[in-house]
Amino acid sequence: MTIIASVVVYFVLELPKVEHSHWFAKLQRIDFLGAFSLVTAVFALLVGMDRGGNVAWSDTITIVFLSISIPLFALFVFIEMRIAANPFAPGHIIFDRPLFASYLSNFFSLASHMGVVFYVPLYFQYDSYSQSLTRAQS
């Protein structure tokens, strides 16, 4: 299957022509504002989720960081849709229905995989612990 896919990609994929412009011109095309807004939004979300799981979900810092992450993600989408000349996440790709369905499918499959990887060992650890307690009591 890999060989067939490689042959199909070789014959069907049309790559853009290589640009031989100066590195400074390429650097000017980078969407630094969009990248910065995405990094700050993800950072705020991760700090809020980490503090919520480790400290408390009702902690002020947790609530503030989780609340800040929502408008930062909205700002990122606004920047990519309206401001950026060369966005790295264009809106027509982000909100395309078939692609959005694959994003959701990927998200839920990864979430279920992580749940299994985390909870199955805990289940077996608890099961073996309860069996050893039962043997010790009898």
**pLDDT tens by residue, 25-76:** 888 888 999 999 999 999 999 999 999 989 999 999 999 999 999 999 999 9
Query: Quick one: residue 85, left, alpha or beta (phi over 0 = left, psi -120 to 50 = alpha)?
Result: alpha
Report pLDDT for 131.
74
Looking at residues 132-137, what average pLDDT do you find? 73
Report pLDDT for 138.
67
Looking at residues 7-30, what average pLDDT do you find? 87
According to DSSP H, which parts of 2-96 are helical?
2-12, 23-28, 32-54, 60-78, 91-94
Report pLDDT for 25.
84
Residue reference for tokens 């027509």: 92
Q: Percent of the chain beyond pLDDT 90?
A: 60
Evaluate if pTM is beyond 0.75: no
Question: What band does 87 get if pLDDT is binned at 50, 70 and 90?
Answer: very high
Residue reference for tokens 């992450």: 69
Provide the terminal-to-terminal Cα distance of the chain, rounded to the nearest Å.
56
